[in-house]
Chain A
Amino acid sequence: MQGDPNPLKYTDIHNDVVASIVETGSNYYVALATALALTLICFFFPWFYQLYYGIGAAGMNHPGVWGTYLASFIFWIGLSHSGTLLSCVLHITNSSWRKAMYRSAEAMTLFSLVVAAMMVMVHVGRPWFIHWTLPYPNQMEMWPNFRSPLLFDVMAITTYITGSTVFIYMGSIPDFAAVRDRTRGWRNTMYSLLSLGWRGTDREWHRLHWAYTFLAVLIIPLAVSVHSIVSWDFAMSIVPALHQTIFAPYFVVGAIYSGTAGIVTVMFVLRKFMDFGEYITELHFDNLGKLLLVLSLLWSYINIVEIFTGFYSGASGETEALRYRLFGFYAPLYWEMITFCAVLPLLCAFKRFRTSFVPMLYLSIAINIGMYTERFLIVATSLSRQYLPDAWGLYVPSAVEISILVGTLALFTTLFLLFVKIFPSVSMYEVKETMDTPKKIPAAASGGSLA
């Protein structure tokens, strides 16, 4: 921003961000209504049908007891991984390019987690008893089984939702305070409550800085553990293609990978439709592109390791599962995944590609399609080929499942659309920090000209 003949001033940012909240065009309402309608029709309606009928509304069967619901769960948890994690890492390493984009990235984390939690509800057979997985004293004197990988999940995701909520909220307090004075009516009340009476004193800034840093330090290991734990849902079993030590790093890398791609998508949309072009620039796409390249190479490496170790073991179960994944019924999906996640991202090696917005959008969407396929394949191919050949089977998703998959996207979009009107979606104070502070108007000089 330096050297710009018409540099941005603090007030410009303020006005832009406040405008993004209070000035709402008709396009926004159309988008919100569409997303809401899609959520109801594609997500809630089929889900209610499934609640009434039973999980049989989905396509799962005897060996394939897990399906797209679990794949979606992992996918959304994975998508949540870049927001808060990336934001924390960049905060600790003092990277200033984080500042314009981290608020929306963290929102992405939060809403992905909400959708993932919904997917758990959709996945289980009797969601009306889901509270039994929480440790609370009850009249049955029954506690959850803390030895279960699924309970690690419950603990990890609860912690993660708490952590990301706190993190995004704490980072927004100064911005709520800034918006508070510019709004009237219910918005004023809401922001007054949300900002907790923030005045921007030196004491408050100091405390915020430290609390924020401590949170970042706590959340980084948490985020890594969350996806490791999700991978242990699979890796702790003794199903041939799932019982793998590489799974924890594989899932963590995959999660950050798809999350980063998700951030690119969201950045593009914000840039395009929210007039944040001045804050979200080619620099961000360039940096995210580099990150995508590194992650895609890591991801490819882990895939090669997975195939190699399976092949090298020579165990009949492992080799059969591997053969089935590479050349069996689901093979087209596998090669689609390899194309989208390992081959296409190599384009990020070129700076011209990284700094062009539309190709990056397509790439990010392709990566996330590939990553969804990865999760689906992990579930579907492994369960179809287990130890006893007589129990081999095939799982194909039903219409209800596909509808709910589309519905989760709509649900996420709805939440995000609500977010941009409530939260200042670009962090005002941190963008201000990256700019030059207002300079003293040279009083002597102006006085001199008068004299």
Chain B
Amino acid sequence: MSFLDRIAEGWRKNRKPGYYENFDYHWTMTIDLDQCSGCGACVTACQAENNLPIVGEKAFAKGREVKWLRMEHYWEGEYPDVKLNIIPMLCQHCDNAPCETVCPVSATYHNQDGLNTQIYNRCIGTRSCAVYCPYEVRYFNYNDHTWDSPLDQQLNPDVSVREKGVMEKCTFCIQRVRQAKDTAKDDGRRRVRDGEVQPACVQTCPSQAMAFGDRNDPESNVSQTLAGPRAYRVLDELNTKSSVVYLKKVETEA
């Protein structure tokens, strides 16, 4: 192949890379709002799994709590005729993520599993990704955090503790995904089986409102759910192509 042909081929490859359509895995989470009771177990599980800092009262009052997964509360109507809508909000792992394009140092990018990753070591803390994120799920470390004893004993060794000046967010428990892929490889399988890997929030959900799986696999649990009539994405009109799919609450008129 001549030099020019190689350039032309490289050009085509880099103009239409193709991997956006065809990730190795396409991890997806579904959250059934009809089953969600708003207990907040997922929030706690996330806190424990991912070494989220306990920021303390003062920082909380300033609005600096770090919750990769938070429960959003929306009240409808006037007292006494009120209704509470709850929606767990976490990083949506958008395929067209606005936060990725804006990072000047590529500290956040899309990996081959279709996950939106955050590289703490590379982050310089411009915080622009947090501005660009329409879901407001990126959290900044405004200072170094401490874990008072005995809390320091429960830090997860698989997850790094972030230093000050670094952005962080939900990773879909990438340490567990990695583990599952390694196990699959050791067992001689090529793929991770459906349901083999669960992020902490999914694992802990008492009402099993959350599910996690590969949407590249048409047989998987999430792929089946995605086809259902209740599936929707938050702020879909922004064309972020998010990987977290919510299932509408079934309204029952009282």
Contacts and interface: CB of A to CB of B under 8 A. Distances in A.
B110 to A, nearest CB: 12
Given A125-B166, A151-B104, A391-B136, A383 B131 contact: yes
A63 B65 CA distance: 11
B47 to A, nearest CB: 16
B95 to A, nearest CB: 15
Nearest to A132: B105
Interface of A: 53-57, 59-66, 123-127, 129-130, 132-133, 142-145, 147-151, 154, 233, 236-239, 242, 383, 386-391, 393-394
Contacts of B73: 390
B235 interface: yes
A387 B235 contact: yes
Given A62-B64, A386-B136, 4 more contacts: A132-B124, A149-B102, A239-B131, A390-B73
30 contacts: A55-B165, A56-B164, A57-B143, A59-B62, A61-B63, A61-B64, A62-B65, A125-B123, A125-B164, A125-B166, A126-B165, A132-B105, A133-B104, A133-B105, A144-B104, A144-B106, A145-B104, A148-B103, A148-B128, A150-B126, A150-B128, A151-B104, A237-B102, A238-B238, A387-B136, A388-B135, A390-B70, A391-B72, A391-B89, A394-B63
B243 to A, nearest CB: 17
Nearest to A395: B63
Contacts of B27: none
Contacts, number: 148
A133 B103 contact: no
B125 A125 contact: yes
Given A62-B64, A125-B124, A238-B134, A54 B142 contact: yes
Contacts of A61: 62-64, 142
Q: Which residue of A64, A383, A390 has the most chain B CB atoms within 10 A of its CB atom?
A: A390
Q: Closest 8 CB pairs between A and B? A: A125-B125, A125-B165, A56-B142, A54-B164, A61-B63, A54-B143, A391-B136, A390-B72
A63 B70 CA distance: 14
Contact of B128 (A62, A233, A388): A233
B247 interface: no
Contacts of B165: 54-55, 124-126
A53 B106 contact: no
B132 A237 contact: yes
A382 to B, nearest CB: 9
Contacts of B134: 238-239, 386-388
B122 interface: yes
A404 to B, nearest CB: 16
B64 A56 contact: yes
Contacts of A57: 143
Q: Which residue of B70, B105, B122 has the most chain A CB atoms within 10 A of its CB atom?
A: B105
B74 A389 contact: yes
B140 interface: yes
Contacts of A388: 72, 89, 134-136, 234-235
Nearest to A154: B104
Contacts of B166: 125-126
A62 B67 CA distance: 10
Interface string B144-186: 1000000000000000000011110000000000000000000
A386 B125 CA distance: 21
A60 B143 CA distance: 12
B117 to A, nearest CB: 14
B106 A125 contact: no
B101 to A, nearest CB: 5
B104 A63 contact: no
Interface string B87-108: 0010000000010011111100
B62 A129 contact: no
Contact of B130 (A65, A144, A150): A65
A124 B64 CA distance: 17
B103 to A, nearest CB: 6
Contacts of B164: 53-56, 125-126
A130 B131 CA distance: 19
B126 A123 contact: yes
Given A56-B59, A142-B106, A390 B127 contact: no
Given A54-B164, A55-B142, A388-B135, A65 B127 contact: yes
B143 A148 contact: no
Nearest to B61: A61
A344 to B, nearest CB: 32
Nearest to A61: B63
A145 B140 contact: no
B141 interface: yes
B42 to A, nearest CB: 16
Contact of A124 (B125, B132, B144): B125
Contacts of B235: 387-388
A242 B134 CA distance: 12
B124 A129 contact: yes
B142 to A, nearest CB: 3
A383 B63 CA distance: 13
